[in-house]
Chains A and B, each alone.
Chain A
Amino acid sequence: MKIWKQRAIAALLVLVCLVSTGCTEIGLSPPQEAMTSVSSVEYVPDFSGEPYVFIGNSKPDFENTTTNSYETYAPLDELGRCGTAEACVGIDLMPTEERGSIGSVKPSGWQSAKYDCVDGKYLYNRCHLIGYQLSGENANKQNLITGTRYMNVEGMLPFENLVADYVKETENHVMYRVTPHFVGQELVARGVIMEALSVEDAGEGVCFSVYVYNCQPGVAIDYATGESRLDGEASGGGEAVSYVLNTSSKKFHDPACSNAASISKGNRQEWTGVREDLVSQGYSPCGQCKP
């Protein structure tokens, strides 16, 4: 199939929709920000400033649920890559002591690379599929992938926090699955699919299915090997454009966007510069005007 046809089909399947509940329909008022939702992983668009997109209307796909805690990890494949990690997270699965060392594990595609534009300098973290705060797993090579600092902290951690705090508060269980997305023979995952569903309340507390990008704003990654370099555009080669910033929500807007018009005076800032610089400062584009 010609590339333009593939892209046209993909575009049709990329539904920019208001967040809707994929599990129990709770019937809440719509949110401010439109979120991107795609039908499946093959239609995930290129990273555009948001650390994740919804998959399948954010409805996770668990065939069975249980209130008995467990964790399972797929064996490494012939290239030494992780597969799916799945758990039923309960309070009894969560750690009771500080995290141990995981430095002995070298996940597929592991490289040591440092950049000034990366929080903490190091591009890659040994990234838990099922976070330590959920399962207490330390140096389990079937649970650690080469993940960017951005994916680890901005992408996956907020979801792990949400699940961990829900379980601690309610003592309910959450079905939880993380699947790394490798393309062909590549050693570094392009992203991870994170799915979660709270069991006792049938998803009223926790329900999501998202694709989290394994990328780092300002850095170009060769996913085949894990090698990396500074992104040329991020180092000053891009074109200067005017945006309106919401310094509270850390969104940026086209100046003509209706969302920009509603930003309160204290949170509004006019800004002109290279888009990638904004992204590297932690800003993400408005889901409505898509600047």
Chain B
Amino acid sequence: MILAVCIDDRNGMLFNGRRQSQDRVLREDLVREAGGGPLWMNAYSARQFDPPPEGLRTAEDFLEQAGPGEVCFLETEDPAAWADRAEGLIVYRWNRKYPAGLYCTIDLSAWKLERREEFAGSSHEKITKEVYKR
């Protein structure tokens, strides 16, 4: 599976049980990354995708269900616990500082950066996307 996460300047993901931020342009990019294949997430994440894109798969245990090469959008859990099973990572950086209670603790130095892109979001001046492979 490919783990996709959004993080702020301090690797934060969630604050007070809520995502730190969201952006519709980022969501469109994530759907493109899934390439029409399954895009897995839990119900909390799926509520942002309205209307749901083709390929959206919703399950609370989606990390268990996802197969090789399938993209998993993870907002409510530290992806580090699943990193051993992942073939790749997609890291979106907000380039902003938000309050956080949940952090992404994946050691990115153990991964190979394949590409980095920057784009303007719908409400964020600059979002950085980094795609990593083992």
Contacts and interface: CB of A to CB of B under 8 A. Distances in A.
Interface of A: 19-22, 26, 28-29, 31-33, 35, 52, 54, 58, 157-159, 161-162, 165-166, 168-170, 204-208, 210, 246, 248-250, 263-267
Given A21-B16, A161-B98, A166-B21, A32 B123 contact: no
* Chain B contact patch, size range: 20 to 34
**Residue in A170, A205, A248 whose Cβ sees the most chain B Cβ within 10 Å:** A248
Contact of B109 (A58, A168, A266): A266
A205 B103 CA distance: 18
Given A168-B123, A248-B105, A22 B16 contact: yes
Contact of B14 (A31, A52, A161, A169): A31
Given A169-B122, A246-B105, A208 B76 contact: no
A276 B105 CA distance: 24
B24 interface: yes
B23 interface: yes
B91 interface: no
B99 interface: yes
B98 A267 contact: no
Contacts of B35: none
Interface string B14-55: 111110111110000000000000000000100000000000
Given A21-B16, A26-B44, A58-B16, A32 B103 contact: yes
Nearest to A157: B97
Contacts of B124: 165
B97 A26 contact: no
Given A19-B15, A208-B16, A264-B107, 13 more contacts: A19-B17, A28-B17, A29-B76, A29-B77, A31-B14, A31-B101, A32-B103, A165-B21, A165-B124, A169-B24, A169-B123, A208-B15, A265-B107
